[in-house]
Amino acid sequence: MESLHYLLMKAHTITHRQIVSGASELGLSSGQPKILEYLYQYGESNQKTIADYCEIEQATVGSILLRMEEAGLIVREKKEGNRRSLYVSLTEKGTKAAKEMEQVFAESEKKVCGGLSEEEKLELRRLLEKFCGTKTEEGSAEN
């Protein structure tokens, strides 16, 4: 029987390859999809919050955001009363890319979860959320 560590790593690798391939077809680098997804889901945010949510070092997020800004996917602006933080939001082009990535994510999930029943998908999601120390609100878990 394979170790839990190995199975988690293998599942990540399989899923990650599919997502990176889909992102590449859209002209995105490997770090950009999760930032697009976060901004699309939660809206304008600062770099630290994005880094924390996406589990990426703040300096790395800064360089990814710079490339995204140069590509016209995001804008960074200072807010009144807070001159230290830049707030990041999606442009129209970024919103379009985020919607296209949603399709890539959905197709990837469909492929990797193809052999699972709806109940098994929900249970897998529940266990992964528990493992990661997060929990969705009751009834809001999606497959």
Q: What is the pLDDT of residues 90-106, one digit of tens each?
A: 999 999 999 999 999 99
DSSP the chain: ---HHHHHHHHHHHHHHHHHHHHHHTT--TTHHHHHHHHHHH-SEEHHHHHHHHT--HHHHHHHHHHHHHTTSEEEEEETTEEEEEEEEE-HHHHHHHHHHHHHHHHHHHHHTTTS-HHHHHHHHHHHHHHHT--PPTT----
Residue boundaries of the structural domains of the chain:
4-112, 116-143
Residues 6+ apart with CB under 8 A from 42: 53
| pLDDT at position 83 | 65
Q: What is the pLDDT of residues 24-62, one digit of tens each?
A: 999 999 899 999 999 999 999 999 999 999 999 999 999
Phi-psi region of 89 (alpha: psi -120 to 50; beta: other; left: phi over 0): beta
Q: What is the pLDDT of residues 132-141, one digit of tens each?
A: 886 554 444 4
Which of 20, 16, 10, 61 has its CA nearest to residue 39? 61
Average pLDDT, the chain: 90
What letter represents residue 118's amino acid? E
| pLDDT at position 142 | 46
Separation of CA 85 from chain center: 22
Look at residue 4 and tell me whether its pLDDT is greater than 60.
yes
Asked whether the whole model's pTM tops 0.85, one would answer no
Neighbours of 90 (CB within 10 A): 20
| pLDDT at position 19 | 94
Written out in words, the top-level CATH class of the domain with range 4-112 is mainly alpha
